Amino acid sequence: MIILGLDPSLSCTGWGVIRSEGSRIVHLANGQVPTDAKAPMPERLAALQAALAEVIAAHRPDRAAVEEVFLNKNPQSTLKLAQARGAVLAACGAAGLAINEHAARLVKKAVVGTGGAEKAQVQAMLKVLLPGVKVAGADAADALAVAIADAHLAAKF
C-alpha cells in the first residue's frame, strides 16, 4: 500500500510518500510545496493544487492521509490553513484518492507514543523509523509522520 501523507499549510505544504507492507514501512519520497506569499490567494491555492497533482501523478499512491485542521488563536490563520487544506483535498479528490484524516495528537501518539510530543521528538522518531532518509524540511517531516501514523492506524483495524 502506497500512502501519501500531507501536512497542509498555505506557506509550505509538506508531503511524504511511504510504502506500507504489513508492519514494514519504506520511504519512497518526500518534499515541500511553498507558495509565494506575495501572490494573490487564488494563484497560491492553484499552484498548491497543481504541485500536489504532480506529486500524485509521479508516485501513484493508493490513498492519502491528511492532518486535520486545528484552531489557531488568530482566525485569519485558521482560515488560510483551511483554504490550503481545501486545495490539498481537491488535488487528492481529483485524483480519485481515498483520504484518511488524522488529528495532530493522534499522529504524534502513533509515531512517538504520546500525543503531546514535540516536533523534535517526532523528527527523532522518523530517523529511527526511516534510517538514512534525507527529509526535505520540517513540513515534509510532519507529512511523513502523518503517512506513518496512517499506516500504523490502518494495521490496527
Indicate which residue of 62, 101, 118, 139 is catalytic.
139
Is 150 within any annotated ligand binding site?
A: no
Q: Is there a catalytic annotation at residue 62? A: no
CB 1 within 8 A of CB 19: yes
Q: Is there a catalytic annotation at residue 36? A: no
Indicate which residue of 36, 67, 118, 142 is catalytic.
67
Helix (H) or strand (E) holding 19: strand 12-21
Q: Which three cell numbers stand for residue 23?
A: 508492519
- Output the average pLDDT for the chain: 93
Q: How far is CA 30 from CA 46, 62, 82, 98, in A?
A: 20, 16, 22, 19
Q: Is there a catalytic annotation at residue 67? A: yes
Is 7 within any annotated ligand binding site?
A: yes
Q: What is the pLDDT of residue 156?
A: 59
Count of structural domains, the chain = 1
Is 142 within any annotated ligand binding site?
A: no
CATH code for position 143: 3.30.420.10
The band of 128, judged by pLDDT with boundaries at 50, 70 and 90, is: very high
Prediction pTM value: 0.94
CA 112, CA 115: separation in Å to the nearest integer?
A: 8
- Render pLDDT for 83-122 as a digit per residue (tens, 0 to 9): 999 999 999 999 999 999 999 999 999 999 989 899 899 9
Domain coverage including residue 56: 2-155
